[in-house]
Amino acid sequence: MGGYGDVKLLNDDGTRLDGRAIDEMRPLTAEVGILPAADGSAIVTHGLNVAIAAVYGPVEAHPRKIQRQDRAVVDVRYNMAPFSTSDRIRPGYNRRSREISKVTAEALESVVLVERFPRAKISVEIEILAAEAGTRCAGITAASLALADAGIPMRDMVVGVASGKIDNIVVLDLDKAEDNYGQADLPVGILPTTGEIAFLQMDGDLSPEEYNTCMEYNFKAAKEIHQIMIDALKAKYDGGA
């Protein structure tokens, strides 16, 4: 977190600079089946973030040394397009994207029924086309939808959502200014049906009580997002009915 205390992030009426209430999420839209070539795909816009995910597989894993005898491996590549950020970033992976790819893969492996596909690989490509704080969460949500669109069996979805702290107040879903100048960020991947957590990162400063409030907000928002995800899948498979 930037943690620059001299930037005021809450209005006098307790609302945030963009007018949201402290427990209010940015608008989120979702659509599946958007990429003709992929086995499954989805686009999620969350605030001004744009995340696109594609799933290829399951196919036999190559080279053989990456195969697991008893299950499929889930291979995730999280990537930010050069034009997705305020300063252009060089094409290719950096340390941040490699870390996010790793923990996102581990979160998705926790819900995909990987034991059904021994020696296989399921590739998940996450491309961030526009970034406005919260891209890893938008990416996780898009990846879950793309997996569902590909017909990969899962025991639950993983919903990406974050809360954090600004001006000593816990708020839901930090936007860019709040991320830059806030005090803490807690992105998680929630299984909306079971109430379990498959993804967890956090940085900044949170008391144990503040942590609990963040998690309350996160679980509440995960429900909302889950509904949007279900609607997106229905829109494709039920013909939008």
Scanning 6-14, 15-23, 74-82, 224-232 for contacts with other proteins by CB under 8 A, the matching segment is 74-82
Residue type, 123: S
Should residue 135 be labelled a site residue for other proteins when binding is judged by CB under 8 A? no
Q: Please check whether residue 187 is in contact with residue 107, taking contact to mean a CB–CB distance below 8 angstroms.
A: no
Phi, psi torsion values for 199, nearest 5 degrees = -135, 135
In single-letter form, the type of residue at position 22 comes to I
Does 83 contact other proteins by CB under 8 A? yes
Contact call for residue 51 and other proteins (CB under 8 A): no
How far, in Å, CA of 165 to CA of 178, rounded? Answer: 8
- The reply to whether 207 sits near other proteins by the rule CB under 8 A is yes
| Beta carbon of residue 12, minimum distance to other proteins (angstroms, whole number) | 27
- Smaller CB separation from other proteins, 205 or 234: 205
Question: Of the candidates 64, 86, 238, 241, which one interacts with other proteins according to CB under 8 A?
Answer: 86
Q: Which stretch binds other proteins (CB under 8 A): 5-13, 16-24, 35-43, 226-234?
A: 35-43
DSSP of 92-146: S--HHHHHHHHHHHHHHHTTB-GGGSTTEEEEEEEEEEE-SS-HHHHHHHHHHHH
**Judged by CB under 8 A, does residue 198 bind other proteins?**
yes
Q: What is the DSSP letter of 64?
A: G
Q: Which positions from 91 through 120 interact with other proteins, judged by CB under 8 A? A: 91-92, 95-96, 98-99, 101-103, 106-107, 109-111
> 9 or 38, CB closer to other proteins?
38
Report how far apart, in Å, the C-alpha atoms of 150 and of each of 29, 73, 159, 224 are: 19, 16, 17, 23
Is-contact 19 47, C-beta < 8 A? no
Q: Does 222 sit near other proteins (CB under 8 A)?
A: no
Q: Tell me which H or E stretch contains 233.
A: helix 208-237
Among 22, 119, 167, 211, binds other proteins (CB under 8 A): 211
Cβ closest to other proteins, residue 211 vs residue 235: 211
Strands of the 184-190 sheet, one edge to the other: 169-172, 159-166, 184-190
d(CA 87, CA 107): 29
Token output for 55? 């799933």
Residues that bind other proteins (CB under 8 A): 1, 3, 35-38, 48, 50, 52, 54, 56, 70, 77, 79, 81-88, 91-92, 95-96, 98-99, 101-103, 106-107, 109-111, 123, 125, 127, 129-132, 186, 191, 194-208, 211, 215
